[in-house]
């Protein structure tokens, strides 16, 4: 069992620890780092700002993995080279290629490692048509919440220390500029000082720091855009602390303007209720993304509705269209969803074949709250949603012609999704969609050991960065083709950071460095 030295140091009983690795943040990357440390016989202390563990990490439905035992068993032959090529093409190589390759190389081993601890894989899902899918998104039984629970239990079992309600405030640096620990403040007002051989920043990015968002992210402040909603935990500790602490020792930033958008979401907050809330909200969110007809605020189509599940593309298309959309369907289409389920999935939350029996309730509640609209005629619906009524009819009739031809010459919607509207008999429905985001993707520039770098690519000794505190892994947008990359990169970066700390220490002991 590992013992961590603790000694009260002053009359106010401030706390002082000496350990091998100190980790700021008890989410996915921080916990995976702590568990890896404990496995390696290192003393690790996790300091978590909030009174619960997990951060955003309680939400992921699943993670990217390549070459896992699960894939082998199911004869999925996706290779790292294949995924890497797609990712680099997606980002036009405007990203940290060697770090991405390192994280992809580790991804399968990370999934297998979790399953060794008892995490169960429910299946591999995709938001893409099968022929386009890379088949890498491993869905966790019990979602990320179970992964967090299993990792934290095992850290404690192996003697690691986790302190909640203890936000990290400062880095300790010696005269040579080496990071030698951190200072935190716990909820009893005590100063917690931890000296360590290495520190890891795992604080989850800056999704809840309004000033940083305004400063760094153009999507948040572009004039004339409809509201951008936040989709994340109700209590969120992700305020950019790890990034700012790394900046305090001259670390460099990368891709700070990039968000992981997730759209469309109904104009109803908190948006997280549509992701993890009552059935009628989840089904309404699913109805919003169905491929019947999407129009922008002028009543024009703007996207290939067949790909309504590809949430990052939808976010980007909406950004190019004022940030707002309307999803239109008629009474027959609504009935189809109730009796048969959706045509396209909403993540792993509402999937084809799952009857949407709470839809009527959702529409009723949506009409009360102002995110759903119902009318007996197309023209009346147009008036309700401030779209020129003749324009709305014109767009619907055009789509009906495409349905007759089974060909969409404008946006190439799949023929199966070209369903004809009943233009004579109502009712007609419109759901109002806005953009939402759930992660920041900018952060600290790192090398393949997850070590923080300065603007000249020089290592900042003693400082590692993981998960959403890392920058440079995405260019201008989240890459959904590599499904589950965010949580995968978080989990793997924690493991790699600790392995590199272990190797550095061995090298130092042997006077190699
Ligand atoms: C709704 C939702 C759904 C998602 N679904 C998926 C999915 O299906 N697939 C996928 O790959 N990814 C998904 N993600 C993203 C995934 O959750 C993140 O990529 C992952 O959690 C990032 O790990 P992290 O360690 O960087 O941050 P987190 O897991 O968010 O942990 C950061 C922790 O640091 C703590 N902290 C902050 N500041 C301090 C401080 N000063 N001192 C101490 N602690 C601090 C926070 O309180 C938090 O607990 C989803 C996210 C959300 C919000």
Residue 235 within a domain: no
- Note whether 427 and 491 are same-domain residues: no
CB 28 within 8 A of CB 57: yes
Predicted pLDDT at 129: 85
Q: Cα(9) to centroid of ligand 1, in Å?
A: 33
**Which two three-digit tokens encode residue 173?**
């640096």
- Note whether 174 and 99 are same-domain residues: yes
* DSSP structure string for 163-180: ESS--EEEEEE-TTS-EE
Residue 227 within a domain: no
Q: How far is CA 189 from CA 7, 9, 14, in A?
A: 17, 15, 9
Whether 438 lines ligand 1, by a CB cut-off of 6 Å, is: yes
Q: How many H-runs (helices) and E-runs (strands) does the chain carry?
A: 16, 21
Whether 50 lines ligand 1, by a CB cut-off of 6 Å, is: yes
Reply yes or no on whether the pLDDT at 111 is more than 70.
yes
- Note whether 59 and 183 are same-domain residues: yes
Predicted pLDDT at 5: 55
Range of the domain at 284: 262-437
pLDDT digits (tens, 9 = 90+) for 383-426: 999 999 999 999 999 999 999 999 999 999 999 999 999 999 99
**Which two three-digit tokens encode residue 11?**
């009359």
The protein residue whose alpha carbon is closest to atom 16 in ligand 1 is 487
Q: Which of 437, 462, 481 is the last residue of a domain?
A: 437
Considering only CA atoms, which of 22, 43, 44, 31 is closest in space to residue 199?
A: 22
Reply yes or no on whether the pLDDT at 512 is more than 70.
no
- Note whether 200 and 288 are same-domain residues: no
Q: Which of 437, 468, 490 is the last residue of a domain?
A: 437
Q: Count the domains in the chain.
A: 2
List the beta bridge partners of residue 123. 139
Whether 238 lines ligand 1, by a CB cut-off of 6 Å, is: yes
Residue 216 within a domain: no
Long-range contacts of 272-280 (CB under 8 A, 24+ apart): 272/231, 272/232, 272/233, 272/234, 274/231, 275/59, 275/231, 275/347, 275/349, 276/59, 278/358, 279/357, 279/358, 280/358, 280/359, 280/361, 280/362, 280/365
**Which two three-digit tokens encode residue 342?**
């959706």
Mutate to test the pocket of ligand 1, among 59, 263, 443, 498 (most ligand atoms within 8 A of CB): 59
CB 184 within 8 A of CB 167: yes
Instruction: Give residue 1's pLDDT band: very low, low, confident or very high (50, 70, 90).
Output: very low
Residue 232 within a domain: no
pLDDT digits (tens, 9 = 90+) for 171-229: 999 999 999 999 999 999 999 999 999 999 999 999 999 999 999 999 998 899 999 99
Reply yes or no on whether the pLDDT at 337 is more than 80.
yes
Whether 372 lines ligand 1, by a CB cut-off of 6 Å, is: no
- Note whether 275 and 252 are same-domain residues: no
Long-range contacts of 74-77 (CB under 8 A, 24+ apart): 74/124, 76/124, 76/135
- Note whether 398 and 495 are same-domain residues: no
Whether 486 lines ligand 1, by a CB cut-off of 6 Å, is: yes
Predicted pLDDT at 12: 61
> What's the CATH number where 343 sits?
3.90.700.10
CB 374 within 8 A of CB 363: yes
- Note whether 244 and 307 are same-domain residues: no
Cis peptide before 427 (omega within 30 of 0): yes
Mean pLDDT score of the chain:
95
Torsion angle, alpha carbons of 97, 451, 498, 60, to 10: -50
Whole-angstrom Cα Rg for the chain: 24
- Note whether 352 and 478 are same-domain residues: no
Residue 230 within a domain: no
In ligand 1, which atom is closest to the CA atom of 276? 1
pLDDT digits (tens, 9 = 90+) for 261-286: 999 999 999 999 999 999 999 999 99
- Over pLDDT 70: what percentage of the chain? 96
- Note whether 268 and 386 are same-domain residues: yes
Instruction: Give residue 13's pLDDT band: very low, low, confident or very high (50, 70, 90).
Output: confident
CB 256 within 8 A of CB 81: no
pLDDT digits (tens, 9 = 90+) for 423-478: 999 999 999 999 999 999 999 999 999 999 999 999 999 999 999 999 999 999 99
- To the nearest 10 degrees (0 to 180), the angle between helices 331-340 and 359-369 is 130
Residue 164's CB is within 10 A of a number of other CB atoms, namely 15
Q: How far is CA 476 from CA 133, 213, 316, in A?
A: 21, 15, 10
pTM: 0.94
List the beta bridge partners of residue 350. 346
- Note whether 20 and 105 are same-domain residues: yes
Whether 232 lines ligand 1, by a CB cut-off of 6 Å, is: yes
In 3-state terms, the chain is what percent helix, strand and coil (to 5)?
Answer: 35, 20, 40
Predicted pLDDT at 509: 64
Predicted pLDDT at 510: 58
Query: What is d(CA 379, CA 424) in angstroms, rounded to the nearest whole number?
Result: 11
Predicted pLDDT at 9: 47
Predicted pLDDT at 511: 56
- Note whether 273 and 369 are same-domain residues: yes
Residue 218 within a domain: no
Reply yes or no on whether the pLDDT at 8 is more than 50.
no
Instruction: Give residue 127's pLDDT band: very low, low, confident or very high (50, 70, 90).
Output: confident
Predicted pLDDT at 120: 98
Reply yes or no on whether the pLDDT at 152 is more than 70.
yes
Residue 99 within a domain: yes
DSSP 130: T
Q: Cα(57) to centroid of ligand 1, in Å?
A: 4
- Note whether 162 and 273 are same-domain residues: no
pLDDT digits (tens, 9 = 90+) for 232-248: 998 999 999 999 999 99
SS (H, E, C) 204-246: CCCCCCHHHHHHHCHHHHCCCCCCEEECCCCCCCCCCHHHHHH
pLDDT digits (tens, 9 = 90+) for 338-385: 999 999 999 989 999 999 999 999 999 999 999 999 999 999 999 999
> What's the CATH number where 163 sits?
3.50.50.60
Predicted pLDDT at 507: 59
Q: Which of 405, 437, 469 is the last residue of a domain?
A: 437
In ligand 1, which atom is closest to the CA atom of 490? 23
Whether 241 lines ligand 1, by a CB cut-off of 6 Å, is: yes
Considering only CA atoms, which of 431, 428, 281 is closest in space to residue 358?
A: 281
Greatest distance between any 2 Cα atoms in the chain: 83
Reply yes or no on whether the pLDDT at 506 is more than 70.
no
Residue 233 within a domain: no
């Amino acid at each position: 069992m590992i013992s961590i030295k603790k000694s009260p140091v002053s009359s106010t009983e401030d706390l002082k620890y000496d350990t091998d690795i100190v980790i700021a943040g008890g989410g996915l990357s921080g916990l995976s780092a702590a568990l890896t440390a404990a496995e390696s016989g290192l003393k690790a202390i996790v300091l978590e700002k909030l009174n619960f563990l997990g951060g955003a990490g309680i939400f992921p439905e699943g993670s990217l993995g390549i070459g896992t035992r699960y894939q082998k068993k199911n004869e999925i032959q996706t290779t790292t080279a294949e995924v890497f090529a797609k990712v680099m093409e997606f980002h036009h190589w405007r990203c940290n290629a060697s770090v991405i390759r390192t994280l992809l190389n580790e991804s399968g081993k990370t999934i297998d490692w979790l399953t060794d601890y008892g995490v169960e894989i429910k299946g591999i899902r995709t938001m893409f048509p099968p022929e386009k899918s890379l088949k890498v998104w491993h869905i966790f039984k019990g979602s990320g919440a179970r992964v967090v629970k299993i990792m934290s239990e095992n850290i404690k079992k192996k003697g690691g220390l986790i302190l909640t309600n203890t936000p990290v405030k400062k880095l300790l640096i010696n005269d040579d500029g080496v990071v030698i620990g951190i200072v935190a403040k716990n909820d009893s007002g005590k100063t917690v000082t931890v000296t360590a051989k290495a520190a890891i920043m795992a604080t989850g990015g800056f999704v809840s720091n309004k000033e940083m968002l305004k400063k760094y992210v153009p999507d948040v402040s572009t004039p004339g855009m409809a509201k951008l909603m936040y989709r994340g935990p109700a209590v969120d500790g992700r305020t950019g602390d790890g990034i700012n602490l790394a900046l305090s020792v001259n670390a460099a930033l990368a891709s700070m303007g990039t968000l992981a958008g997730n759209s469309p979401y109904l104009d109803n907050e908190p948006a997280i209720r549509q992701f993890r809330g009552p059935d009628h909200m989840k089904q309404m969110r699913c109805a919003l993304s169905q491929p019947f007809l999407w129009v922008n605020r002028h009543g024009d189509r703007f996207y290939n509705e067949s790909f309504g599940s590809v949430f990052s593309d939808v976010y980007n298309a909406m950004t190019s269209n004022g940030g707002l959309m309307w999803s239109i369907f008629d009474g027959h289409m609504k009935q189809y969803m109730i009796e048969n389920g959706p045509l396209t999935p909403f993540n792993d939350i509402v999937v084809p074949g799952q009857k949407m029996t709470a839809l009527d309730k959702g529409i009723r509640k949506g009409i009360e709250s102002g995110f759903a609209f119902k009318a007996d005629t197309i023209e009346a619906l147009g008036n309700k949603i401030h779209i020129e009524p003749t324009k709305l009819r014109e767009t619907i009739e055009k789509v009906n012609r495409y349905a007759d031809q089974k060909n969409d010459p404008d946006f190439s919607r799949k023929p199966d999704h070209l369903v004809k509207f009943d233009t004579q008999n109502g009712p007609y429905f419109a759901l109002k969609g806005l953009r939402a985001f759930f992660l920041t993707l900018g952060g600290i520039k790192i090398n393949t050991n997850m070590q923080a770098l300065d603007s000249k690519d020089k290592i900042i000794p003693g400082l590692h960065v993981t998960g959403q505190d890392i920058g440079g892994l995405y260019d201008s947008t989240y890459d959904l083709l590599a499904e589950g990359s965010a949580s995968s990169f978080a989990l793997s970066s924690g493991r790699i950071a600790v392995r590199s700390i272990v190797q550095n220490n061995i090298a130092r002991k042997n006077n190699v460095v």
